[in-house]
Chains A and B, each alone.
Chain A
Amino acid sequence: MRNFLLIISRDLQLATRIGGGGAMTVGFFVIAATLYPLALGPDLNLLGRIAPGIIWVSALLACLLSLDRLFQADHEDGTLDLLLLDPLPLPLVILAKTFAHWLTTGLPLIVAAPVLALTLNLGTDGFATLLGTMLLGTPTLSLLGAVGAALTVGIRRGGMLLTLLVLPLYIPLLIFAVSAMDAALFGLGAAAQLLVLTALLLAAIALCPVAAAAALRLYVQN
């Protein structure tokens, strides 16, 4: 448990001292979401209707862009080899790293999302659901991304490949998150979609660290 917390605090310290982590992700998130009104026109009715989609697609891309550093930086400075030797089981090491990744990217996105939602004229009924989907969805983004990051660690210019591998896996999340918000905006309950998002999150917590661990072990064996 101590090692688990140490890994988290180490990654958080790295993110705050080197900088870039959270702030850059939020910056990208806001700029990407701003492109939509510029591309589609300033019609508030239209924007209000498609705001859930805009916010979620932007959040997904923002998370994706931060993923290639998840294991790559540790791979470059040799920390990864030490982490693999850690007495803590590798899936738990990955869970810790993923949690730290979520704290530095997912959480800032959740804070920024309501502000963006205001500018995009999201209906007031949608705000609670927006926060709910982000809280349940962004950890799953980090977990699924960890599998992709582990598979592409050590590959030159793996970032593009990571995108190709991970984006199809993000589709269910996107669908259920946006449909939850649409349901809330139309005055229907979003409970079903939120439950599915919870199920996806729990399944991802159980399975993704194991898959990512298998992928990382390959990298040391050879």
Chain B
Amino acid sequence: MQRIDATGYMIAMQRFANPANFLKLATRLTPFAAAIAFILLAVGSYLALFVAPPDYQQGDTVRIMFVHVPAAWMTTFCFGVMAAASAVGLIWGHPVAYVAAKATAPVGAAFTVMALVTGALWGQPMWGTWWVWDARLTSVLIQLFIYLGYMALWNAIEDPVRGAKATAIFALVGAVNLPIIKFSVEWWNTLHQPASIARVEGPAIHSSILTPLLIMLAGFTVFYIWLLLVRMRQEILARRIRTLQLARTRKLQVGEAG
């Protein structure tokens, strides 16, 4: 019992030491991130919806791209952040890195769902079907499964310290496997599905489309950073509350015993 108390105390100290600095920084950065994300998304949406010309084949449907491509980009980006943060956490025992990885997962999963849904909405008028077992779609779907597994593992482990490390190991295993999965799915696709879908290979993207696309990409990324800051603050504060509650319960128990 004595040992558990001691480690618990040390963990609490570790949490209060570094995350306190992070909280200060995050509190200061959050409004800026929110403002930049809002401006970029507003400008990007305006350019995408009103200024960018409709495609000569796809008409206005092509505008789905301005949401679909950034969402697909965030799918990969968030997983990269998660894996990097997990590695930092495992190597240097950095508690805030684990929090970042945990806070990223649901956001990344949401972007993945967004990429899949917008893809389906785009595919319906273009390919005549909601879903095709195309290599890209399939590997994004598998990536969603890995996100879900990661989150399920977090939920299943009660002890947050063990949960942080276990999920970090899973994130790294997933990061090693994702390229292999992508490669295998492409292999599978070329064997099982001889090009039944004419991929839209338009000419090089014109600047009237490229500019809003880049702005939207930047907007999505900053939006994610904003969400990340908010979620990390929330997570750190929630852990503080938990620690305080535990301390209070322990005090009460000691009081009853004495």
Chain A residues near B (Cβ < 8 Å): 147, 151-152, 155, 158, 161, 164-165, 167-169, 171-172, 175-176, 179, 182, 200, 207, 211, 214-215, 218-219, 221-222
Q: Which 3 A-B pairs have the closest CB atoms?
A: A172-B184, A175-B188, A175-B184
Instruction: With A158-B156, A182-B191, A222-B162 as known contacts, state yes or no: A207 contacts B169, CB within 8 Å.
Output: no
- 8 Å CB interface, B41-77 against A: none
| A–B complex contacts, Cβ < 8 Å, 22 sampled | A147-B169, A151-B166, A155-B157, A164-B149, A165-B152, A165-B153, A168-B146, A169-B173, A172-B177, A175-B184, A175-B187, A176-B187, A179-B187, A179-B188, A182-B191, A200-B180, A211-B173, A214-B165, A218-B165, A218-B166, A222-B159, A222-B162
Tell me, in angstroms, the Cα distance from A152 to B157 when the chains sit together. 8
- 8 Å CB interface, B130-189 against A: 142, 145-146, 148-149, 152-153, 156-157, 159, 161-162, 165-166, 169-170, 172-174, 176-177, 180-181, 183-185, 187-188
Chain B residues near A (Cβ < 8 Å): 90, 142, 145-146, 148-149, 152-153, 156-157, 159, 161-162, 165-166, 169-170, 172-174, 176-177, 180-181, 183-185, 187-188, 191
| Residues on the B chain within 8 Å of A175, using CB | 184-185, 187-188
- Additional 6 contacts, C-beta under 8 A, given A161-B152, A172-B183: A147-B173, A151-B166, A168-B145, A169-B174, A176-B184, A211-B173
> CB distance B173 to A152 under 8 Å?
no
Tell me, in angstroms, the Cα distance from A97 to B173 when the chains sit together. 20
| Residues on the A chain within 8 Å of B187, using CB | 175-176, 179
Tell me, in angstroms, the Cα distance from A151 to B165 when the chains sit together. 10
Tell me, in angstroms, the Cα distance from A219 to B169 when the chains sit together. 13
Tell me, in angstroms, the Cα distance from A152 to B90 when the chains sit together. 18
Q: How far is the CB of A172 from chain B (nearest CB, A)?
A: 4
Tell me, in angstroms, the Cα distance from A218 to B162 when the chains sit together. 6
> CB distance A171 to B173 under 8 Å?
no
Contact of A171 (CB < 8 Å), options: B152, B166, B181, B191: B181
Chain B's interface: helix, strand, loop or mixed, by majority? helix
Tell me, in angstroms, the Cα distance from A191 to B17 when the chains sit together. 57
Tell me, in angstroms, the Cα distance from A156 to B106 when the chains sit together. 23
Instruction: With A151-B153, A179-B187, A222-B162 as known contacts, state yes or no: A168 contacts B181, CB within 8 Å.
Output: yes
| Residues on the B chain within 8 Å of A169, using CB | 173-174, 177, 181
Q: How far is the CB of A156 from chain B (nearest CB, A)?
A: 8
Q: How far is the CB of B165 from chain A (nearest CB, A)?
A: 5
Identity of the chain A residue whose Cβ is nearest the Cβ of B159 in the assembled complex: A222
Tell me, in angstroms, the Cα distance from A60 to B70 when the chains sit together. 35
| Residues on the A chain within 8 Å of B170, using CB | 151, 165
| Residues on the A chain within 8 Å of B173, using CB | 147, 169, 211
> CB distance A215 to B166 under 8 Å?
yes
Tell me, in angstroms, the Cα distance from A171 to B140 when the chains sit together. 13
Tell me, in angstroms, the Cα distance from A171 to B169 when the chains sit together. 19
> CB distance B161 to A164 under 8 Å?
no
> CB distance B162 to A219 under 8 Å?
yes
| Residues on the A chain within 8 Å of B142, using CB | 168, 171
| Residues on the A chain within 8 Å of B180, using CB | 172, 200
Tell me, in angstroms, the Cα distance from A169 to B179 when the chains sit together. 11
> CB distance A161 to B185 under 8 Å?
no
| Residues on the A chain within 8 Å of B90, using CB | 214
Looking at A158, A164, A167, which has the most chain B CB atoms within 10 Å of its CB? A164
Tell me, in angstroms, the Cα distance from A218 to B169 when the chains sit together. 10
> CB distance B191 to A211 under 8 Å?
no
| Residues on the B chain within 8 Å of A221, using CB | 162
| Residues on the B chain within 8 Å of A158, using CB | 156
Tell me, in angstroms, the Cα distance from A222 to B164 when the chains sit together. 12
Contact of A179 (CB < 8 Å), options: B153, B162, B191: B191
Tell me, in angstroms, the Cα distance from A11 to B157 when the chains sit together. 27
Q: How far is the CB of A136 from chain B (nearest CB, A)?
A: 14
| Residues on the B chain within 8 Å of A182, using CB | 191
| Residues on the A chain within 8 Å of B148, using CB | 164
> CB distance B153 to A222 under 8 Å?
no
Tell me, in angstroms, the Cα distance from A179 to B146 when the chains sit together. 23
